[in-house]
């Protein structure tokens, strides 16, 4: 029974992370790296980041939403990874959940 509660909390935290990252994804903010990259300022990201962004823009178009979508994708995939790393470091389940809860709402990690 306790395991299911922890799993539910984990998924709720990830859902909050998804929601926070998708709100106003198309809002234009010319100070973000994603906007600079979408506008072809090639020094905005390191070479690997630009290669991933270029591939995404080739597939989905040259929009700010696509550029931010790359960041959203990596931000969301990092949440379960943070949880697994915390467990690997022998954190208790509640501590591991706290790690991803903080990561899911940390402003710099959102956008």
Is the pLDDT at 2 greater than 90? The verdict is: no
Q: Is 0.85 surpassed by the pTM of this model?
A: no
Tell me the per-residue pLDDT of 38-70, one tens digit each, with 9 for 90 and over: 665 455 567 787 788 888 888 998 877 887 888
Is the pLDDT at 28 greater than 70? The verdict is: no
Is the pLDDT at 27 greater than 70? The verdict is: no
Across 14-18, 34-38, 99-103, which has the greatest mean pLDDT?
Answer: 99-103
Contact 105, 75 (CB under 8 A): no
Say which residues have a Cβ less than 8 Å from residue 86's Cβ, sequence separation at least 6: 95, 96, 99, 100
Is the pLDDT at 97 greater than 80? The verdict is: yes
Is the pLDDT at 1 greater than 60? The verdict is: no
């Amino acid at each position: 029974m306790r395991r299911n509660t922890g799993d539910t909390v984990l998924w709720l935290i990830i859902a909050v992370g998804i929601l926070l990252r998708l709100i106003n994804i198309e809002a234009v903010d010319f100070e973000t790296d994603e906007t600079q990259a979408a506008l072809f300022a090639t020094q905005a990201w390191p070479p690997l980041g630009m290669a991933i962004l270029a591939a995404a823009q080739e597939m989905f178009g040259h929009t700010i939403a696509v550029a931010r979508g790359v960041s959203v994708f990596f931000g969301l995939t990092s949440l379960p990874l943070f949880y697994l790393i915390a467990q690997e470091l022998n954190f208790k389940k509640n501590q591991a959940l706290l790690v991803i809860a903080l990561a899911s709402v940390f402003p710099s990690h959102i956008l």
